[in-house]
Chain A
Amino acid sequence: MSVVPISYYLVLSAILFGLGAVAVVFKRNIITIFMGIELMLNAVNLAFVAFARAHGQLDGLVFVFFVIVVAAAEAAVGLAIVIMLTKNRQSLNVERDSLLKF
């Protein structure tokens, strides 16, 4: 059984990360931006797992667990903020929430 080269994983990871970043930068819907962020986090997870397998070490896997925990916490806090924003403004458009400035 032939081994899939690591570069395949890395390229997939980079594509996923790029898609996530593009979603964060260009989309206006806050839920979509959230999904973009999740996409970026999981792209990084993929890269970690690929390196861990390629080098036969556990460090990358440990990091993945941390990232998953952080992502869960981020989703909990972030979605709470989203709910509050939506309640107050009846909109998911981030363009309108630009009060935090000078």
Chain B
Amino acid sequence: MNKALPTHNLSIYVANRPGALVRIAQAFSRRGFNIESLVVSPGATGDFSRMTITAKGDEAGLEQIIMQCSKLVDVLACREHSDEEVVARELGLVKVAVDAAQRGEVLQIADHFRAKTVDLTETSIVLEVTGGSEKLDAMVELLRKFKIVELVRTGKVIMARGEGET
């Protein structure tokens, strides 16, 4: 696989039925696409779900996947969005092992990224950070000089700006 393959943002609006997620996942796996992140959540009404998927791959393969997903009976819409047309957010929780001596610098980093401390013990701290995926990457990178015990990220969710449909 070519390292330079672009990452794509896909938003899928789908009827909330059993099997819908597997059918969509199969459209990716059958064509050798690796899903980098996948977020499923209820849509504006309970009958529908919103899936946000980020995946790396070539354009031709992606076009196939979009069309294969679009033709699934349960799928109402499947769209690709460039980074520019959407608001993108991700939430991350980072647990760092810190003692009293290190805590100050960790909090300084957290402050810089506007992360919140959501749990604090003698030996550890859990930070909550929200923003673009690159921002989360940057903060995690800086925290690597300490011991990151656990890292949980939600994966990217996106919404089209202005009048655009997600």
Say whether A associates with B. Answer: no
